[in-house]
Amino acid sequence: MLRRHLLANAAALGAAAALPLPAFAQGAPIRMTIATGVDPSFAPYYVAREGGFFQRNGLDVTVNTGPSGSAMIAFLVGNQINSAYGAEQAGVSAHLVDPNVVAVAEGTALLRWISVLGRNVASMDELKGKRVGVARGTGSETFWLSVVSRLNLNPADYTIVNVEAPEMVAALERGNIDAFAVWEPWPTRAMRAIPNTRILLSNEQIQIVRNFVYMNKGWAEQNQDATQRLMRSLIQAQEFIAANPAEAAAQVARFLRQDRAFIAELMTKVEYKMNLTSDSVANIQLAIDQLRGMNRLSREVTPAQVIWSAPLQQVAPDRVRI
């Protein structure tokens, strides 16, 4: 796990935000630890840190990163961290282990973000009999299952290999897998680095996968002031991204230590939300249905149990439309 304490970028603090920045009394800021993956679909976390929104809202936030946002959601079990940012299926799985793990906002709609990419494979038809890399328990698996369902594919025609997202390009290059289903930046990186690779299918043809902001409800209820400050910070970061895409991309690139132009290109493929709508509910329901179909639903659960709208309702009631 990579832990980085980053300094706020004071230049970004002049950005317009729909929510006013409250004046806090002098004193130590509230410390929080949040976690997610390493890709620009999680930009509100990075921008809230780099742009100083956490700081302006009286928070001292440590941002931990791991192999994927979904992998980090598990750390909400037992409140090892205070918030995480990842996909639907991982959130539902963590909720089944600890009902305190809840979704408090839909953070990102992945419009053109997840792909099935193959090497020396020209079409989905040619993928039959091949090895497909999938990161189980993440949006990668959610998307692959949706592809199988939407295209009426026979799962037995494919050998699924469990591969963490950052390892997929190397696994494809070594020949350990013939294709993978995963989010950016890995499809673009693969096409740039490996000959004869191509996108066979994009998620915009199948399903809009969504990333959610999760919290540990027990901790959040006991620390309502910190929870409201977190939600306010993320909304302001989302609004800054929408109003200042170039500067936001620069902040994300700085946080991730990646090329600015590349990050800016990737950020056009998603939409940052920080709301809760009927689409949010539908995607959580889809994750529940998929887990049930794989016999991974240890008990019945509903979207109303997984989604906790109170924190967002308290800060921005107009963003809750469920």
Calpha distance 151→175 (Å, rounded): 26
What ranges in 58-154 are assigned the alpha helix state H? 69-73, 88-97, 139-150
CATH of residue 265's domain is 3.40.190.10
- At residue 139, does pLDDT exceed 90? no
Same domain flag for 44 and 102: yes
Same domain flag for 218 and 104: yes
Same domain flag for 44 and 93: yes
The last residue of a domain, from among 171, 187, 205: 205
- At residue 216, does pLDDT exceed 80? yes
Q: 């990419």: which residue's tokens?
A: 117
pLDDT the model gives residue 25: 46
Same domain flag for 156 and 264: no
Same domain flag for 100 and 231: yes
Same domain flag for 127 and 225: no
Q: Write phi, then psi, for 2 (nearest 5 degrees).
A: -100, 125
pLDDT the model gives residue 209: 87
Calpha distance 165→37 (Å, rounded): 10
50's enclosing H/E stretch is helix 43-50
Same domain flag for 99 and 229: yes
Mind listing the pLDDT tens digit for each residue in 249-271?
Answer: 999 999 999 999 999 999 999 99
298 token code pair? 């240890």
User: Across residues 124-146, what is the average pLDDT?
Assistant: 94
Same domain flag for 196 and 163: yes
Same domain flag for 82 and 229: yes
Cα-to-chain-centroid distance, residue 151:
25
Same domain flag for 176 and 143: yes
Same domain flag for 158 and 243: no
Q: Parallel, antiparallel, or unpaired: how do β-strands 114-119 and 179-183 relate?
A: antiparallel
Same domain flag for 104 and 132: no
Q: What total of structural domains would you count in the chain?
A: 2
Cα-to-chain-centroid distance, residue 220:
20
Instruction: Provide the total of helices (H) and of strands (E) in the chain, helices listed first.
Output: 14, 12
Q: Where does the pLDDT of residue 18 fall: very low under 50, low under 70, confident under 90, or very high at 90 and above?
A: very low
Range of the domain at 62: 2-111+209-319
The last residue of a domain, from among 205, 221, 240: 205
pLDDT the model gives residue 21: 45
User: Across residues 183-192, what is the average pLDDT?
Assistant: 94
Given its phi and psi angles, is residue 113 left (phi above 0), alpha (psi -120 to 50 degrees) or beta?
alpha
The last residue of a domain, from among 174, 205, 236: 205
